[in-house]
Chain A
Amino acid sequence: MNFEAVIGLELHVQMKTKSKMFSSTPVSFGEKPNTMVKVYDMAFPGSMPIVNKQAVINAIRVSNALHMTIDDTLCFDRKNYFYSDLAKGFQITQHERPIGSNGYLDIDNKRIRLERLHIEEDTCKQIHLGDYSLLDYNRSGIPLLEIVTLPDMRNGKEAMKLVEKIRSIVTFLDVSDGKMEEGSLRCDVNISIREVGSDRLGPKVEIKNLNSISNVQKAIDYEIERQKQLFLEGKNIVQDTRRFDEKNKKTVAMRFKTDSIDYKYFREPNIPPIKLSKEFIQNAIETSPELAEAKYERYLAMGLSKYDASLLVQDKDVSNYFDEAIETKASNKLLVNWIFGDIHAILNKENISIKQFIVSPKHLGELVLMIENGIVSNKQGREIFMEMLKNNDSPKELIKSMGREMISDENVIKEMVIETINNNPQSVIDYKKGKDRAVAYLVGQIMKKSQGRANPSLTNKLIQEELRRR
């Protein structure tokens, strides 16, 4: 029997706006528990929601990147339920009129339809310890985007690629950190199987708490196999909610899914519907940061290889670093080599991101430019780079203070050449016999003498001229 899986995703994107979705509380991660909290975030009686404009702009930008229809009236609803992480006893969300709807993304020439995108607010963080729990309201009220797909995916890889693409969009648009490991991007999977050709679906199983993109794929592929086996063994597939056990690479049942909760939605009365003008929507879209795809095209147009271009757009911060560095007019290709060579090695070694890297893109560009223009040799460039790693000093200044500026003055080098040849008569004889090694030997001597500062190609040229004359 042939089976196929029917997979839909629900993603939650935590936005990194300056303040929370409905209050002026600053959003800042990694702070002490319950220090990023104002009265609204803890639902003190009489506190009221104020809509965060930047979050709306973000939602418009992401909706646009997902090819969605954007609603020109912004409406919010209450989703009512009691839970210990929900301060107000309801969550403000967009139930009836999501800001974005009917979009799609193409994954390897396959179109995945996206049902909706809506704005909502995060709950507080719970830490369960033994027989008690602690609540941290720092997270309460942080803006979220929820993106819901239609069940158009058929395997773990497609789902993984979709998540990857959405992650790229929200990070390149500066909407979110998009880190599944840290919960700023969360993915729930709905999955059921059916016989190929049949439209009768098996029970829908939900997988929650996936904490990396690769686990999305692994969990789905495991779950498909599990459901197939159950089916083939004639056993029931139970409609339940599962989590992915990373250690054993298995999905594990968390709870049975009973009839879904009735959230008793109704319109949020404290936020009258807001008309979004055409200009506002247009402006949000036009001022959007550049998406990975657009950057990729731009890199190809500036002559980078497909390989280099795709490497660069894998990480928004890396491509931004590159974009800043090329403003110095340094060679694209050389910059790419530096970024994915020396710099990449350092980042890996120190386990930091390029945003934390000490050398500014401008200084890297200046250094590369000096090497290109022969002001310093490659070797010297590397030495200067090592110095730059200390304080991000400007390479121009470093050259001066290190006395490392290249000697390109013909008269100075000529003097050294004559002196060196005079001291090495054997090399003239070797040269006349046609031994090229003689030149290299003399260059080495001059480099030693000049502490590597003599311009190598100029030195080479002058040695040959002098030898020919003898």
Chain B
Amino acid sequence: MGYLHLSITELHNLLKEGTVTPKQLVDEAIAKAKADNNNCFEYIMEKEAYEFVDKLGDFDDSNPLWGIPFAIKDNYSTKDVPTCASSNILEGYVPVFSSTVYQRLIDRKAIPIGKTTLDELAMGGTGTSGHKGKTYNPWDETHKHQIGGSSCGSASCVAASIVPFSIGSDTGDSVRKPASYGGLVGMKPTWGRISRYGLLPFAASLDHVGFFTRNVEDSAILLDVLAGRDGKDFSSSFEPVDKYEEDLLKPRGKRIAVIKEIFDSITNEEIKKTFINTLNSLKNAGFTVDFVNFDVKLLRAVYPSYIVISCAEATSNNANLDGIKFGLRESGETYQDVTKNTRTKGFSELIKRRFVIGSFSLLRENQDVLFRRAQKARRLIVEETNRILKDYDAIYCPASPTTAPLFEKHADKLSNEYLIADNWLTIANFGGLPSITLPIGFSDGLPFGGNLTSSPFKEKDLFAIASCLEDITGLKNLSKKGEE
């Protein structure tokens, strides 16, 4: 029997008592990572992890991350550790610098176990497009269901009890959707709350640092460590950082809005029923819960606007991958050939399609009808959301209309269920809003989540409401292999 199905706080107490040592935790994590059959890892940091254990020093009771193993998505730059974002284009690339997020975690003596798989360059929501192939959902041992993406490896390794927490990134819903499919707490705070320095950009205006834990308290602990201004990221905020964990149980705002159009577009009756049950419990716990309206036209515009904006930014953000300076290099007669051959070989077809869409929408003759129009839609959607959040402390809806989908499942991409319920989480990326997914139920043995989204820099309130919801559902510390 191991320990890594336990939460950060539980492990901290065991380390304090001396019941377990950091080395034992690393032994267990490395063994599990090596035995992993869900394709969670791009690179297992075995040598590095033991070096960190050797340098830990004395136990520090004031530091909840002391000696705690974690995993980090392979689109975070890690000094001296290969970083390829699950793409062939970055084959052999070993960064000379560390992302702020990674640096803060190792400074706090958390122990990195590995770099996790993702949809190639974080573009995708299925966990299938990385160069190592599909990543599986630990809740389904037959490997028929997705864990979702793009932070697929980070979600799977926490769900599979390999590590108690992991770092992901969230541009559309890449942490909060896999969290729903994996029975995890997936959090992304306000844009600018955590430095993105060293996170390989997909679409900078939408990119967020996010993380997976197995309960809300652990999520608050991580934000305590990661939040704050970073001089290396000009967009990081000067807003003072709250004490998220300390204030978790203090009473906060109690007004919750449910967007009727999102709820109505869901067809899975079990999810709807479970969700309604949580609403009733919240009301019983003293919350005001109202169904509110959101212009359906705007909701249906979320996904297409997202595709246009994210692909446009992505084509520019990834233009540095030209075969000249680092990563893959294919030979060619001229520099144009080198770049063309490298990019032709290094990117999958899916990525190239996104670049074409992005480039097309930025062309002078198309900007008005595509890129600028998408930006306008984004602005209107955010305004509509802020209008609701003026009167409510959080928006609460099912995080996804289904449990983890089958790999071969193809959604009807023009249905309201797909366009609205399967994509509404992106609204939080549009507005840079803090947003957290946590498990609210199971269907056929697969978990599904609810999502709470609030106004910028209201993470404290969001955690408090999420904590109440967690108490109501009783669904915390879920993990597949941790169950006795």
Contacts and interface: CB of A to CB of B under 8 A. Distances in A.
Nearest to A135: B324
B319 A84 contact: no
A133 B234 contact: no
Nearest to A88: B320
B197 A82 contact: no
A270 interface: yes
A370 interface: no
A82 B319 contact: yes
A89 B197 contact: no
B83 interface: yes
B319 A90 contact: yes
B442 interface: no
A266 B364 CA distance: 11
A202 interface: no
Interface in A6-58: 39, 42-51
B432 to A, nearest CB: 10
Interface string B358-376: 0100111001000100000
A84 B324 contact: yes
Interface in A410-466: none
Contacts of B336: 82
A80 interface: yes
Interface in A267-317: 269-272
B232 A48 contact: yes
A45 B96 contact: no
Interface string B189-203: 000000011111101
Given A82-B339, A264-B359, A89 B322 contact: yes
Q: How large is the interface on B (under 10, 10 to 19, 20 to 34, 35 or more residues)?
A: 35 or more
Contact of B322 (A44, A82, A133): A82
Interface in A194-227: none
A42 B321 CA distance: 11
A350 interface: no
A262 interface: yes
Interface string A81-107: 010100111100000000000000000
Residue in A47, A49, A78, A88 with the greatest tally of chain B CB atoms within 10 Å: A47
Contacts of B200: 45-46
Contacts of A271: 234-235
Interface in B196-213: 196-201, 203-205
B25 to A, nearest CB: 28
Contacts, number: 99
Interface residues of A, number: 29
Contacts of A262: 363-364
B291 interface: no
A46 B99 contact: yes
A78 B312 CA distance: 12
A146 to B, nearest CB: 20
B174 interface: no
B90 interface: yes
A45 B318 CA distance: 8
A105 to B, nearest CB: 32
B234 A44 contact: no
Nearest to B207: A269
A46 B205 CA distance: 14
Given A89-B320, A264-B364, 14 more contacts: A42-B326, A43-B320, A44-B326, A45-B85, A45-B90, A45-B95, A46-B201, A47-B197, A51-B234, A84-B335, A89-B318, A89-B322, A264-B359, A264-B363
Interface of B: 76-77, 83, 85, 90, 93, 95-97, 99, 196-201, 203-205, 231-235, 312-313, 315-316, 318-322, 324-326, 335-336, 339, 359, 362-364, 367, 371
The 8 closest A-B pairs by CB, nearest first: A89-B319, A269-B205, A264-B362, A43-B320, A269-B204, A46-B198, A84-B335, A46-B77
15 contacts: A44-B77, A44-B325, A45-B85, A45-B321, A46-B199, A46-B200, A46-B201, A48-B234, A80-B315, A80-B362, A264-B316, A264-B359, A269-B205, A270-B234, A271-B235
